[in-house]
Amino acid sequence: MTHTFGAHLTAGATEAGSRTALVFENRSWTYAELDRAVRRTVARLDKSGVRRGDRVVMQGAARPEALITLFAVTRMGAVLVPLHPQATGGELAVVCEETEPTAVVADEKFPAGAGLRLTWEELHPEDDGPEAPDCDPPAGSDVAVIAFTSGTSGRPKGVALTHDNLHWSMANGLARLPFGEDDTVLVSTPLAHVAVLGGLPQYTWARRGTVILAPRFDPDLFIDLVRDHQVTCAFAVPAMSALLARHPRFADGDLDSLRWILSGGSPAQTATREQFRARGIGVVNSYGLTETAAGVTYSAPDEPAASTGSPVPHVELVVVDATGSPAPASTSGEIWVRGPSVAAEYWTARGPVPVTDAEGWFHSGDRGRLDTEGRLEVVGRVKDTIITGGENVDPAEVENALADLPGVVEVAVSGTPDPIWGEVVTAFLVSDAGEPSLDDVRTHLDGRLARHKWPRRLRVVPALPRGATGKLQRQRLTTLLDD
């Protein structure tokens, strides 16, 4: 059976054509109108010379034309390569070197790249234009999207996600997340994020719900859109959730329609999660990566705050020790994932590079532990573990314990070199209420964490280093000590 990405949108146009599929600012599209827009874009891409198997680099701007382009490129059997809208010329050069695109779709301010350049206005003119005729769908094993990882260091890697990968990712999300055709979902993250390519908006369209697309994330705009469109569900990385929880309007009635927020990238910190719970909004933690085409675990809103939930139906997940053997329950180790949503290859100019081992396991590089009920808690990166005086310390555990320190807006923890201890636990805090002292931090942690996990160094900083998608760049933390 062929699992063409976008088949859920085509089915929606046939079965629920008059329902509202997408809203952006003052315009909306029904399922039938959105499908027609995709057909017209296929025709324009074909006329421009794009063919099956060609790569099309696209600036991942938060605009409806980008979503339409995503469906058009993949429907015609070409391969979409989405980039963050703030990508630099150097980043674009790496992507073009690796993928050799036939075309780049972007606005005029986006850096120039290799291949044919198409602006949004050229690809999506105001006149309707002809629609592409039906064509043979791509095979499930064909690559649909090459999503470049937002790694914290080194050369980014292009994850080759097939139509099958994206189909099974959607099947996993639909099996676990509690929503249906009457839900309205808000998307306010860059469209190059895997949570958009294989995540919540795709699940929403499969259920015939409505997606509200925000042009950017801004707490005031987010709250306005929830109020104006009676949004019921939304996706947010933890930094976004924390900003919302601290906003003066958070307690107002404007968010009353919001039932739950899906937290991706890392679990929402305990303090933020409790603020949402007190407000009557559930937080669904998830664990997933670009290589797994979005989520492989989802929690229930009433699960322990640190839990990311149990594995979805079409995924195998194990936590292994240093020998590759399954670790006992509640013991941390590396998270391995296997299943049809897991990519098989990284795309490079030199040819494909395997993502998985010979038995199909993806070694995530993340540390986690499974409790006795099979629920996953993510505790950090394997390489991020701090070894201080011979004791292992997980930065995420210390960060979670410091998240509700009075005045703290954001917190990150890292190991910094020390001639006696090897490394010492170092806390980096963003505060909106003066500068907490190391004694304040230790008093707060007394009774919460063992003493060897307490920070020995503290730096209050104006902001934490984050990548384009909001992911903490932990390797850059130590540079803040020199500021």
What the block records as the tokens of 119 is 């602006």
Nearest to 189 by CA among 240, 254, 150, 152: 240
β-strand partners of 55: 79
Where does residue 248 rank: exposed (0-12), middle (13-18), buried (19+ CB within 10 A)? Answer: exposed
pLDDT per residue, tens digit, the chain (483 aa), is 568 999 999 999 999 999 999 999 999 999 999 999 999 999 999 999 999 999 999 988 899 999 999 999 999 999 999 988 877 787 888 899 999 999 999 988 887 777 789 999 999 998 788 998 888 899 999 999 999 875 444 567 899 999 999 999 999 999 999 889 999 999 998 888 888 888 999 999 999 999 999 999 999 999 999 999 999 999 988 778 888 998 999 998 899 999 999 987 666 667 788 889 899 999 999 999 999 998 999 998 778 777 899 999 999 999 999 899 999 999 999 999 999 999 999 999 999 999 999 999 999 988 899 999 999 998 877 777 787 876 778 787 788 889 888 888 889 998 888 877 778 899 999 988 788 999 999 999 988 887 888 999 999 999 898 876 667 888 788 788 875
Where does residue 343 rank: exposed (0-12), middle (13-18), buried (19+ CB within 10 A)? Answer: buried
Query: Where do the domains of the chain lie, and which CATH numbers do they carry?
Result: 7-379 (3.40.50.12780), 385-482 (3.30.300.30)
The answer to whether 297 and 169 are in contact (CB under 8 A) is no
What the block records as the tokens of 287 is 């664990």
Percent residues over pLDDT 70 in the chain: 96
Angle subtended by helix axes 7-15 and 31-48, to nearest 10: 130
- Give the per-residue pLDDT at 387: 75
Residues in the chain: 483
What's the rounded Cα separation, in Å, for the pair 131 and 108? 26
Q: Are strands 103-106 and 116-119 parallel, antiparallel or unpaired?
A: parallel
Measured in whole angstroms, how far is the alpha carbon of residue 4 from the centre of its chain? 22
What the block records as the tokens of 399 is 């960060």
- Give the per-residue pLDDT at 426: 93
- Give the per-residue pLDDT at 198: 87
- Give the per-residue pLDDT at 152: 40
